[in-house]
Homo-oligomer: A and B are copies of this chain.
Amino acid sequence: MKDEQMNGAESLVQTLLANEVEVCFTNPGTSEMHFVAALDHIAGMRSVLALQEGVATGAADGYFRMARKPASTLLHLGPGLANGLSNLHNAKKAGSGVVNIVGEHAASHIELDAPLTSDIEGIAGPVSHWVRTSPSAGTVGKDAAEAVQAAMTAPGQIATLILPSDTAWDMGGTPGETLKAPSPEAYDASVLDTAAAALDGPETLLLLGGTALTEENLEIAGRIAAKTGCALLAEWANARMERGAGRVAVERVPYPIDIALKVLEPFKRIVLVGARAPIGFFAYPGKPAVLTREGAEITALAHAGADLGTALTDLCASIGAQDTDPAQVAEPDVSDAPEGRIDLDKLAVCIARAIPKDGIVVDESVTTGRAFSPATRGAAPHTWLNNCGGSIGYGLPTAIGAAVACPDRRVLALVGDGSAMYTVQALWTMAREGLNVTALIFANRSYKILRGELTNVGVGNPGPRAIDMLSLDRPALDWVQMSHSMGVDAVRVTECEELEAALADGLTRDGPSLIEIML
């Protein structure tokens, strides 16, 4: 197309498609109408409508984790971006690449301070690695290509392109180039010998994160562990981890600070590959923030944005473990069907039994899920996604993105009721798109984690006013009606037998379903 035949919005859509950005999670407004119109006559972009932008940005996070390439979001000015901000925070912490397209008033309109005028660059900055306001229709294509390239920078970055409406509707749009994703940085080879020397028996921990948790890289880590006797752990929160029978099984550093301190206490030497040295999720009065034992020697071989496969391969070679059989390979191991009233242990077994081959588990189970990891070690091979940024409301949206990225796989979303309420609008998008998501809502009717945290921060005997602020039982949420109201079939279960039946149904039907689990 020649310039005079294309407006800025059209050049933007063309550029995104040429750079393999093929999905747009969106809630558009007036200032985005030319982008919407461009999607009408340029085929190839799957537009997924969300009823609140937190759903859109969380979906983009889940999409990147599974597709290993970014989706776009289309957001309505500063407030639309603001609604998506907390899940962009989570995406940023997960190392997910996202290309945000944020509409803005026409340049001449901004100075008039209209109701929707705000400092969009200011709002975007804290959650973005890359922010740019495109100055004209002619530059939109180039800017979009650079935005995608920024988003593809390893491990993945948040790029926010702000699109004034006149740059969208003016003619003179010029598609940007197809740019290559930057290669990941090299790992720190200068410490390879130090790392190899540190791998000396069970007092050494090889701590893994990021893409060190692919099936292939876990296998290399397993060889290293078999050869040296070192321990393997993953970070507490991991964007994506391959797990289940036949894979090297790696437990995560626990969340509760006292347990984490205990688990990490034995390690005098720690080698980091795609991970950071463990710290507390929060500070607690009188407890350490750094969780490793005092004086532990920490060797950072590779940060999350580095080439972790090469780092592990070289480390493995340097200790001569290439041909060693990997340690900690999980055997198929699923317990018998539990019976009767669901409790947390039985729940974990039910989930382990239900996970289908190649299932994707999105984990926002918070307190309910502390038994899930050991129970699912020998489940069918699957992918496990954690919340890396700690902002609740990540689970249901991320499940949308994973399902859009992997239409041939089943998604199991494990979500606490408090977390699920944050972005509950996600259910409607699941129904609309017919996504194969089975959402388990853990109805303990409280922000249960905060009951424990009150004690951890030194508030021993919370009174009724404090307890009331952590309770969701007045009134009780009815998740079955909630789900039906947005077009998703749902059932409430209290017994293991009911749960097994509901999981079997949900994981084989077309489209989404929800199971409210009474705890």
Interface residues of A (CB under 8 A from B): 26, 28-31, 33-34, 36-37, 39-41, 47, 49, 51-52, 54, 78-80, 82-83, 85-86, 89-90, 93, 105-106, 108-109, 112-116, 118-119, 122-123, 125-127, 165-166, 169, 237, 276, 279-283, 285, 289-290, 388-391, 393, 418, 421-422, 424-425, 428, 431-432, 449-450, 453-454, 456-459, 462-466, 468-470, 472, 474-482, 484-487
Assembled-state Cα–Cα distance A482/B52 (Å): 16
Let me know if A454 and B78 touch, CB within 8 A: no
Name the B residues within 8 Å of A453 (CB-CB).
29-30, 33
| Min CB–CB distance A334 → chain B (angstroms) | 31
Let me know if A283 and B85 touch, CB within 8 A: no
Name the B residues within 8 Å of A49 (CB-CB).
468-469
Let me know if B89 and A466 touch, CB within 8 A: no
Given the contacts A112-B289, A476-B487, A485-B477, A169 and B421 also touching, CB distance less than 8 Å: no
Let me know if B432 and A474 touch, CB within 8 A: yes
Assembled-state Cα–Cα distance A114/B462 (Å): 26
Name the B residues within 8 Å of A52 (CB-CB).
393, 421-422
Name the B residues within 8 Å of A34 (CB-CB).
457, 459
Let me know if A82 and B78 touch, CB within 8 A: no
Let me know if A462 and B79 touch, CB within 8 A: no
Name the B residues within 8 Å of A47 (CB-CB).
465, 468-469
Given the contacts A169-B458, A424-B424, A450-B33, A115 and B390 also touching, CB distance less than 8 Å: yes
Given contacts A79-B389, A116-B281, A478-B485, 20 further A-B pairs with CB under 8 A are: A33-B454, A33-B457, A34-B459, A37-B459, A40-B463, A51-B421, A109-B282, A109-B283, A112-B280, A113-B276, A115-B281, A116-B391, A119-B126, A165-B283, A165-B457, A169-B285, A422-B425, A476-B487, A478-B486, A480-B485
Given the contacts A28-B469, A33-B450, A237 and B424 also touching, CB distance less than 8 Å: no
Q: List 24 A-B contacts (CB under 8 A).
A: A28-B469, A30-B281, A31-B282, A36-B462, A37-B459, A41-B463, A51-B472, A52-B393, A52-B421, A52-B422, A79-B391, A80-B391, A83-B85, A83-B86, A83-B422, A109-B283, A115-B281, A169-B457, A424-B424, A431-B475, A478-B484, A480-B485, A482-B482, A482-B486
Q: Would you list the 9 A-B pairs with minimal beta carbon distance, nearest first?
A: A475-B487, A79-B391, A82-B85, A106-B283, A482-B485, A79-B86, A481-B485, A109-B283, A40-B463
| Min CB–CB distance A287 → chain B (angstroms) | 11
Let me know if B465 and A39 touch, CB within 8 A: yes
Assembled-state Cα–Cα distance A78/B31 (Å): 27
User: In the complex, what residue of chain B is closest to A467 when comparing beta carbons?
Assistant: B40
| Min CB–CB distance A237 → chain B (angstroms) | 6
Let me know if B112 and A279 touch, CB within 8 A: yes
Let me know if A116 and B169 touch, CB within 8 A: no
